[in-house]
Amino acid sequence: MEGPEIKFAEAVLDNGKFGTRTIRFETGRLAQQAQGAVAAYLDEETMLLSATSASKHPKDNFDFFPLTVDVEERSYAAGKIPGSFFRREGRPSTEAILVCRLIDRPLRPSFVDGLRNEVQIVITVLAIAPDEFYDALAINAASASTQISGLPFSGPIAGVRLALIDGQWVAFPKYSQLERAVFDLTVAGRVVTDSNGNEDVAIMMVEAEATEHAWGLIQGGAIKPNEEIVAQGLEAAKPFLAQLVKAQAELAAQSAKPIADYPVFLPYDQATYDVVAGIAYDELKGIYQVADKVERQNADDALKDRVKEAVAAKVEAGELAATANGQVSAAYKSVTKKIVRGRILTEGIRIDGRGLSDIRPLDAEVQVIPRVHGSAIFQRGETQILGVTTLNMLKMEQQIDSLAPVTKKRYLHHYNFPPYSTGETGRVGSPKRREIGHGFLAERALVPVLPSREEFPYAIRQVS
């Protein structure tokens, strides 16, 4: 695809006896109207397109950075026609949503503070080899397209998936190789330089899990992934991340747009903070020594209302700018954070009176719902989880129609977080991205210790 309009850079990752993996970045051919667009390849057979776009004007009345990451899985990428009635892709798969969250976590804090323009990063899976994962490649593609877009972004950010196979950490492992792996890591990071000019890789995000086959492999003599081994995995990721960052930087040097002048809206002015702190600081110190959560929140809400009234009066009197009314919540939150953090650091005491090594009271109860196959309540302090388990024949396991190499799942963990969980009102219905992510977190913790299909030939659904 080289040509006068095509710019490219690549990184060749050496896995020793497991061969090499080539990551290639190209820009200039596709999605030319986007602020930044990069095609990323894994060994020439897996291809993603990342396009980064930003709105021309900041969003009004937003107190957060409106970044959206979307992953579009195209069935043609794997030579398939969608299995739905309309034979067209619909809502994102669970796997695509998990990749969105994986990308968002390291990229979001890398934008300049106070940016309020809408930014959207769309990853489209154009081609994928049958045995490949695309999640770590997508992190690199998203970073590369954002790096060249002219947005105020402190990248590049690199991502790599590592598997511990036969005692070696292998970068970008294939799905079939995970059968011999005891541990699986996805790491994101960027290169930082200290005052002496020394470079190191700062790790920004880690996802880790034992594999489905880990228990059997460990019983057979494979390396047990303890804390020391996992720490070695993080160190093993750094050279790969550095190579990927370098490749992205090479691409940006050829094709990046100048950084545009985007307006930045800081959460509050110093004058607003000083007024809020002067009114609330002393009383907040007492409130955040109340152990009971409901009592503490009620007192906190009452104080916050009084602070808002006091600030509004100062605005009306001309002592503060009119923008101060919209900055009260952020300034109040900052004062609260200072108090809570300061008490932890100076006194070693957390909000509810616990020390740094104290855990909340634990309680567990089983068989709490009649007729279901299994049920339990687990409570830690004031946080409560109800879990319900259902068993069925293996033919009821989930058949997965996505571009991930995993085609079926015997264990399903579905997490729900209704608004009444925090005493609030809100929308109920289809699961949100956060609920899907938390369910997967619990699922990956339990899968390695489940009995095998041969020992326990049932599909298992756990609802929390």
Supply the pLDDT for residue 4: 52
User: pLDDT tens digit string along 374-385?
Assistant: 999 999 988 899
User: pLDDT tens digit string along 213-243?
Assistant: 888 888 888 888 889 999 999 999 999 999 9
Q: In the chain, what are the domain boundaries?
A: 7-254, 270-347, 362-463
For the four alpha carbons of 38, 42, 47 and 50, in that order, the dihedral sign comes to negative
Q: For residue 67, list its beta bridge partners.
A: 119
Q: What CATH number has the domain spanning 270-347?
A: 1.10.10.400
Place of tokens 């002393």: 282
Mention every residue, 6+ apart, whose C-beta is less than 8 A from residue 441: none
Tokens representing residue 387 in the block? 């879990």
Q: In 3D, which of 306, 352, 310, 307 has the Cα closest to residue 334?
A: 307
**What is the CATH T-level fold of the domain 362-463, as seen in this structure?**
Ribosomal Protein S5; domain 2 (3.30.230)
Supply the pLDDT for residue 325: 83
Q: Under a CB-based contact definition with an 8 Å cutoff, are residues 99 and 135 in contact?
A: yes
Q: Are 7-254 and 362-463 equal in CATH topology?
A: yes
Rg (C-alpha) for the chain, rounded Å, is 25
Supply the pLDDT for residue 384: 92
This prediction has a pTM of 0.89
Q: In 3D, which of 124, 247, 248, 231 has the Cα closest to residue 187?
A: 231
Per-residue pLDDT of the chain (464 residues; tens, 9 = 90+): 454 588 889 999 999 999 999 999 999 888 888 899 999 999 989 999 999 999 988 887 787 889 999 999 998 888 888 877 788 888 888 899 999 999 999 999 999 988 899 999 999 999 999 889 999 999 999 999 999 999 999 979 999 999 999 989 999 999 999 999 999 999 999 998 887 888 889 999 999 999 888 888 888 888 888 899 999 999 999 999 999 999 999 999 999 899 999 988 888 888 888 888 888 888 888 888 887 788 888 888 888 888 888 888 888 888 888 888 888 888 889 888 988 898 888 888 887 778 888 888 899 999 999 999 999 999 998 889 999 999 999 999 888 888 888 888 899 999 999 998 888 888 888 888 999 999 999 998 999 889 888 899 999 999 99
Supply the pLDDT for residue 108: 94
SS3 of residue 383 by DSSP: strand
CA 203, CA 106: separation in Å to the nearest integer? 9
CA 434, CA 384: separation in Å to the nearest integer? 18
Q: Which CATH number fits domain 7-254: 3.40.50.720, 3.20.20.150, 1.10.150.120, 3.30.230.70?
A: 3.30.230.70
